[in-house]
Structure 1
Amino acid sequence: MKTTMPGKPMFIAGKWVKKEEVIEVLNPQDNSFVSTVPSASKEDLLFAIGETKEGAKTAAAMPVHQRISVLYKAAMYIEKNKEEYAAVIALEGSKTIREATAEVKRCIQTLRLSAEEARRINGETISFDQSEGSEDRVGYYYRFPIGIIAAITPFNDPLNLVAHKVGPAIASGNAIIVKPATVTPISALLLAEAFEHAGLPSKILSVITGKGSVIGDLLVTHPDIRMVSFTGGLETGERIARKAGLKKLSMELGSNSPVIVLRDADIPTAVESSVSGAFYAVGQNCLGVQRIYIEEAVYETFSSLFVKRTHQYKVGDKMLDTTDMGPMINESEAIRVESWVDEAIDMGAKLLVGGKRNGAFYSPTVLTDVPPNCTIAKQEVFGPVVLLFPVLDLEMAIEKSNDVNFGLQAGIFTKDIDQAFQAIGKMDVGGIMINDSSDYRIDGMPFGGVKGSGLGREGVKFTIQEMTEPRVVSFKLSHKRST
């Protein structure tokens, strides 16, 4: 399998563009060279925005059947080349080849869902005669595209999270400019390649590669950008919100997701699901399990089985099918996680397993007795670390679960439907998974959180709602309607 590839041009308004100044893409496993992408300037972005203004008109005028056709053809192209797409995801990012293959499958599903939802962007008739004096009016509303969308995407799902923004944008008749993560840009460029092969008209889609410090502010503040769709960290999201001005914002900003395990739970199932949820994609996952609250009656059993299963997790070469977990996205991130774990231990936490770093690799780590005032107890670790806490009962578990500035998803393991519904009603989250860990999602469900976890909802149907606005149409008749 090739581990290097020729330099990739960026995709601006339907054309592939090279630049003298480039950004090196490195394999985080060993820091080896993968490829280069252009380092875009502000002038490049201004050109892209100018061209995309024309593309927005083209997109809005595309008949629905053409949008559907383009989306299905793009999905078919990716399916035909799925091995290449998976290899690129694994090479430039943190995912193992198994995890990358699963992401490609989800991307294909996301685009097909987008095609299906394109035919269901409907409005409703309005009973204007509900208001006295409006008996001579009839009408309806329909949804119209908002124009140019800026999409800023992260490194942890470099293909499917881009598809979650591009697919709905095209389905709803918008144009879109994607700024992918600097460390994993090639997957997004491959998505643009799929749309080019699918016959997407030029100027509707751009994937502009560059440093956020150079083009980020211009992208989010430009008045022609009518919506910013951002997936990333809370601090960056807050900065974007302060700068963006009067435009729509959709933000998924992560979490430190809780899982609750009650005494009546299927403990082996809860262990297996929570271990996977904690260490999938090296824990670099907004839904990753970070805090587990276990009822005291089953704490020792759960803890023992959880540590045993964590010991079995295979860390190593991400390109091998037998590997469960590869490196973090870079060594500096692994050093940050290491420092958070060390701080917790210095403050009294107990290390049950893991806690070792080798370059960008950080071993699956389990802590207990974690003080509530240490960084890792309150912030999103975004790494392979999970915290175990014994609790007296469900009420205590819910209280502690809610005691953070995040609320994306949660999980609860119980056979008691009353307790499940108690958690459903009281947990401050955007989604709660019963007898699953927090790390469960399908691409068709509304996805997003409360508090510091973001604004709005993703999931194809719900993203389309965010990317469109209702327009009311009223006809005043020359006579009042007869009933």
Structure 2
Amino acid sequence: MLAKQYPFYVANRPEQPNADLEVFDKYHGTVATRVALADASTIDRAIAAADAATDDMRTLPPFERQKVLQHCVQRFTERAEELAQALCVEAGKPIKDSRGEVTRLIDTFRMAAEEAVRMEGTVMNLETGPRSKGYRGQYKRVPIGACSFISPFNFPLNLAAHKVAPAIAAGCPFVLKPASLTPIGALIIAETLAETDLPAGAFSVLPCRRDGAELFTTDERLKLLSFTGSPEVGWDLKARAGKKKVVLELGGNAAVVVHRDADLDDAVARIVFGAFYQSGQSCIGVQRIIVHSDVYVRFRDKLVAATEQLVAGDPSDENTFVGPLISAKEAERLEDWITQAVDAGGRKLCGGVRDGAMLSATLLEDVPRDQPICVEEAFGPVAVLSRFDDFSAALEEVNDSVFGLQAGIFTRDLYCMLEAWDRLEVGGVVIGDVPSWRADNMPYGGIKDSGIGREGVRFAMEDMTEIRNLVIRTP
């Protein structure tokens, strides 16, 4: 059960000046709880506290940072079902998927605890010519300073964890703005951090309106902005961020290629998961399915049959696979895109039925490639099938997108695998699986409109630190 109301956290401490933010049960449409909403003066106070905590966090010994992260691992494990139930309500995420996200939250903090004591430097040989004879060098990584984090609604636990846990491991104080649609998970993370001995000002977690969040982007006391969300918002924030470093994890239009040598039953099982897991609300959810002509009909028929077996409904039901979208507005948008695709000559193979925020798992084929459902990010339970005869042409179709996050290739051909790795304009190529797969320690991120920078605990820590060089001359 959710609490009746939740405070926000300023400089490690809870405050409850109001309960102005209503958080809705995404399936039932009722108010589930209320949350304190931060105003501009509160955000300014939090940034000042983070700035003041920079030295204390920088000098906090790595084993102490590790101790904080290990405490979080223990407490999240103890509160796992509470976290999962909260996620199921506030995000409408099926309960099995919610439990899976809690597992990833725990794993991400565990990995950060391990990395907290591994942030090391390198000794360099500078004697590369007569001019540098007698010189030696080395460098180390130092925390960048106070960080600003803005996290999205679709993975409110794990994507917040990918910012918070590396920051603690690296020794950076931070202010976090969770999505106002799904703030509860981040506030439980803050409640857990408040149980530790982090220096005062080390963290603040502040739900707020978008118009009140300007300081998260523009304040010069913040040295890094890490944003996960839509491309339109992300690139606008980067343009206004000033001199600070910016990391953007943005949208996608992920494609998967099924070659004629693929195990079709395996590919179907994984693509059904990749396209419709958590109602398709993932930036690496499968949206474009490009299948070799020799196996197209067999694959399509198997995929349609598997999709029609998916259980949709109440996310608290253990059997539910497809829950509601985050809002009825998003379901209406996708319903309109499906209608446009069919009107343009596409064929609906299954699904396409909307009831409020619920949209049934939908497969389309023969859709003109200029349609929104092919060009834009669907962010919902819709995928489009197309055929190819030449593998190189299939790779060109994958690249025919403004996005470049991840791609999946089902093939057993080593040379096709290497060609895909060489030619695909994406941040990651997944062989034998869907682009929706991610391990929390791997470098994850995109190119083109999908963003800049990489997440994954160690790689996020690199962004949150700077190299400081040391040169020693022996006269």
TM-score bracket relative to the smaller structure: over 0.9
Q: Deviations over 1:243-298 (max 9, x none)?
A: 11111011110201000001110000000100100000110001100001000000
Structure 2 equivalent of residue 31 of structure 1:
29
Q: Determine whether 1:119 maps to 2:117.
A: yes
Query: In the alignment, which of 420, 428, 431 is matched to residue 431 of structure 1?
Result: 428
Structure 1 equivalent of residue 163 of structure 2:
165
Residues 76-475 of structure 1 mapped to structure 2, 5 A cutoff: 76-215=74-213, 217-475=214-472
What 5-or-longer segments of structure 1 have no aligned partner? none
What 5-or-longer segments of structure 2 have no aligned partner? none
SS of the counterpart of 1:338?
A: helix
Q: Which moved more, 1:302-311 or 1:136-145?
A: 136-145
SS of the counterpart of 1:130?
A: coil
Q: Which moved more, 1:341-350 or 1:286-295?
A: 341-350
Aligned partner of 2:318: which letter?
D
Q: Give the CA deviation at 1:66.
A: 0.3
Q: Deviations over 1:89-142 (max 9, x none)?
A: 111003111001000011111001001111111111122222433323333110
The two structures have a TM-score, normalised by structure 2, of 0.98
**Contact 2:253/2:375 (CA < 8 Å) preserved in 1?**
yes
**Contact 1:94/1:282 (CA < 8 Å) preserved in 2?**
no
Q: Give the CA deviation at 1:199.
A: 3.0
Looking at structure 1, the residues matched to 455 and 115 of structure 2 have their Cα atoms a distance apart, in angstroms, of 13
Aligned partner of 1:238: which letter?
W
Looking at structure 2, the residues matched to 254 and 96 of structure 1 have their Cα atoms a distance apart, in angstroms, of 22
Aligned partner of 2:270: which letter?
S
Looking at structure 1, the residues matched to 66 and 129 of structure 2 have their Cα atoms a distance apart, in angstroms, of 39
Q: Give the CA deviation at 1:21.
A: 5.6
**Contact 1:258/1:290 (CA < 8 Å) preserved in 2?**
yes
Q: Give the CA deviation at 1:458.
A: 0.3
Query: In the alignment, which of 35, 49, 52 is matched to residue 50 of structure 2?
Result: 52
**Contact 1:71/1:198 (CA < 8 Å) preserved in 2?**
no
Looking at structure 1, the residues matched to 192 and 280 of structure 2 have their Cα atoms a distance apart, in angstroms, of 29
| Alignment: residue pair count | 475
Looking at structure 1, the residues matched to 472 and 430 of structure 2 have their Cα atoms a distance apart, in angstroms, of 46
**Superposition RMSD on alpha carbons, in Å?**
1.1
Looking at structure 2, the residues matched to 200 and 85 of structure 1 have their Cα atoms a distance apart, in angstroms, of 22
Q: Deviations over 1:200-233 (max 9, x none)?
A: 3331011011111222x22101000111001011
Aligned partner of 2:392: which letter?
E
Looking at structure 2, the residues matched to 131 and 281 of structure 1 have their Cα atoms a distance apart, in angstroms, of 58
Q: Percent identity?
A: 39
SS of the counterpart of 1:472?
A: strand
Looking at structure 2, the residues matched to 346 and 199 of structure 1 have their Cα atoms a distance apart, in angstroms, of 60
Looking at structure 1, the residues matched to 365 and 64 of structure 2 have their Cα atoms a distance apart, in angstroms, of 55
Q: Which moved more, 1:268-277 or 1:415-424?
A: 415-424
Looking at structure 1, the residues matched to 38 and 8 of structure 2 have their Cα atoms a distance apart, in angstroms, of 9
SS of the counterpart of 1:133?
A: helix
Q: Determine whether 1:63 maps to 2:58.
A: no
Aligned partner of 1:396: which letter?
A
SS of the counterpart of 1:235?
A: helix
**Contact 2:277/2:322 (CA < 8 Å) preserved in 1?**
yes
**Contact 2:108/2:162 (CA < 8 Å) preserved in 1?**
yes
Aligned partner of 1:106: which letter?
R
**Contact 2:49/2:200 (CA < 8 Å) preserved in 1?**
no
The two structures have a TM-score, normalised by structure 1, of 0.97
CA 1:271–1:470 in 2, change beyond 3 Å: closer, same or farther? same
SS of the counterpart of 1:473?
A: strand
**Contact 1:64/1:119 (CA < 8 Å) preserved in 2?**
yes
Looking at structure 2, the residues matched to 171 and 89 of structure 1 have their Cα atoms a distance apart, in angstroms, of 25
Looking at structure 2, the residues matched to 318 and 178 of structure 1 have their Cα atoms a distance apart, in angstroms, of 27
SS of the counterpart of 1:197?
A: coil
